[in-house]
Amino acid sequence: APAMFTSSIDHVIPLPRTVEPRAGAGFTLGADTVIVVATTDDQARWIATYLADVIGLAAAPQPPRVEAAGEAIPAGAIVLELSGPANPSSPNGGTGIESHEGYEMTVTPERVTIRAPQPAGLFYGVQSFRQLLPPFTEYQAVRPNKARPVTAPAVRIVDEPRFGWRGAMLDVSRHFFPVSAVKRYLDLMSLYKLNRLHLHLADDQGWRIEIKSWPNLAAHGGQTQVGGGAGGFYTQEQYADLVRYAAERFVTIVPEIDMPGHTNAALASYAELNCDGVARPLYTGTEVGFSALCVDKEITYAFIADVVREIAALTPGAWFHIGGDEVKTLTPEQYVRFIERVQAIVHAQGKQMIGWDEIAPAALLPTSVVQHWRPKTTPAEAVAKGARVIMSVASRAYLDMKYDSTTAIGLSWAGLVDVSTVYDWDPATVADGVPESALLGVEAPLWSETLATMEDVEFMAFPRLIARAEVGWSRPEARDWNLFKQRLGAHGPRLTALGVNFHRSVQVPWQH
């Protein structure tokens, strides 16, 4: 018999809730493999096509056919099935799945069945199935040697996430990254079941989204970046395309316009936003804290209302991030008044406000969210007032920190952050008074002062974003660094096949 090349069921990341190995042979992809969509749901059909694309060329000369369910399910089928709405009082088929992102998957020699209450769960089941296949499946080329069968091991997985917010943040302001790069980031996030992409769209060094009522923001404020390079911005059509691409992958885009600080690009684009009425020069350095909108001028709020309205109209997700960090030129009273006015503007556009943890002293609406980032502070005060928290504490979550003292790019103000530092902690025990129930979830920010290319982005994000994905998805009592580093090591060849410029951290026993 030919040697079987299969991936181990232990290698699925994030670690599923339950994994039961089944005795005997697994499921082998072949020329007769067909993907059957046992529902008329459009998203489920899209997911089937996506799966065919991902596994297609490795399986056979042609990607598997996608079919609607007929009288009988053919042999050798991968079946995608929606099993009714997520409802805690009627456990789905006895699986106990409560999350709309949960799924159940059974792999036998005859067929693969992925069943979920909602399309998001089907998508995540597909990601787990993908990881059961050998890493070379990820090469987007026809495989020259078909002698080795592509096989997934026999298993039953029942899975759902711990947190509903499993985010990544990309700073496209300090350096601009084009639409194609953001799509690539979304593709890689999907493999590890992340579901929020927070885009840091404006900072001192660049305004990165077209605003039709204030066209100079992008046209002038978007034309440079750190180091003096050309910068750039997304047109509204491009941003809408990103939102759509993300939504197909069950990722919600969270737009951030940082204010009142981090606003030099806006202050350079419109003289009237400055208290002295004089436009600032464009900025290409990396200092923080020097810029602020003129919080006592009415035009500032008209400006913000226009910006929030235009971006909110393009953003189906529930959230608008207003930044609010590192303001060094206003009094505490000016700052709090500003945040409360902006919160009302965001609310009036039907969005929930998110801000960095500095916003905590403001009177927050129950829907507002605090993103905790400063290691020396605690979000307990905001939680006591009813706010919910996204956990991004820099010393554990910042993907722009150097891995170790030899890392050529990145910063180190929050310490060195190697893979184990990202993995080996529990977001629900970071701070007294911030229990799991106060957490929306976790997010890993990637600031781009020192990252000029997508290769740089990948080097800092991988493999740490993968560790972060497991922190957000898997149960804390089942997580173990010593096991994780082995499982992560097995993803080396998969990342290589995907062309990811990942950092070969010495903490991880990488497979070849």
* Footprint on this chain of ligand TNX (rule: CB under 6 A): 288, 325-326, 356, 373, 398, 400, 411, 447, 449
Q: Which is nearer to ligand TNX, 96 or 229 (CB)?
A: 229
What is the 3 state secondary structure string of 435-465?
A: CHHHEEEEEEEECCCCCCCHHHHHHHHCCHH
Instruction: Give the catalytic positions in this structure.
Output: 326
- Taking each helix axis from N to C end, the angle separating 179-191 and 236-248, rounded to the nearest 10 degrees, works out to 10
CA distance 302 to 156: 56
User: Min. distance of Cβ 170 from ligand TNX in angstroms?
Assistant: 12
User: Min. distance of Cβ 200 from ligand TNX in angstroms?
Assistant: 8
| Token pair of 477 as six digits | 């009592």
CA distance 248 to 452: 28
Q: Which is nearer to ligand TNX, 376 or 512 (CB)?
A: 376
- Residue 421's CB is within 10 A of a number of other CB atoms, namely 18
Write down how long the chain is: 512
What is the 3 state secondary structure string of 72-87?
A: CCCCCEEEEEECCCCC
Q: Which is nearer to ligand TNX, 368 or 474 (CB)?
A: 368
Compute CA distances 216 → 287, 297, 307, whole Å. 23, 19, 12
> How far from the centroid of its chain's Cα atoms is residue 506's Cα?
25
CA distance 356 to 360: 8
Residue 473: CB partners within 8 Å, gap ≥ 6? 14, 15, 161, 162, 163, 166, 193
Residue 217: its H or E element: helix 216-219
User: Min. distance of Cβ 201 from ligand TNX in angstroms?
Assistant: 13
Residue 56: CB partners within 8 Å, gap ≥ 6? 62, 63, 64
Nearest in space to 135 (alpha carbons), one of 493, 489, 486: 493
Nearest in space to 9 (alpha carbons), one of 102, 129, 122, 159: 129
Q: Which is nearer to ligand TNX, 83 or 263 (CB)?
A: 263
Residue 142: CB partners within 8 Å, gap ≥ 6? 57, 61
Helices (H), ranges, 386-453: 394-397, 419-423
The SS3 assignment for 273 reads: helix
User: Min. distance of Cβ 260 from ligand TNX in angstroms?
Assistant: 13
Compute CA distances 469 → 156, 161, 263, 441, whole Å. 22, 10, 31, 11
Cβ pair 464, 417 in contact under 8 A: yes
| Cis peptide bond upstream of 14, omega within 30 | yes
User: Min. distance of Cβ 185 from ligand TNX in angstroms?
Assistant: 17
User: Min. distance of Cβ 445 from ligand TNX in angstroms?
Assistant: 6
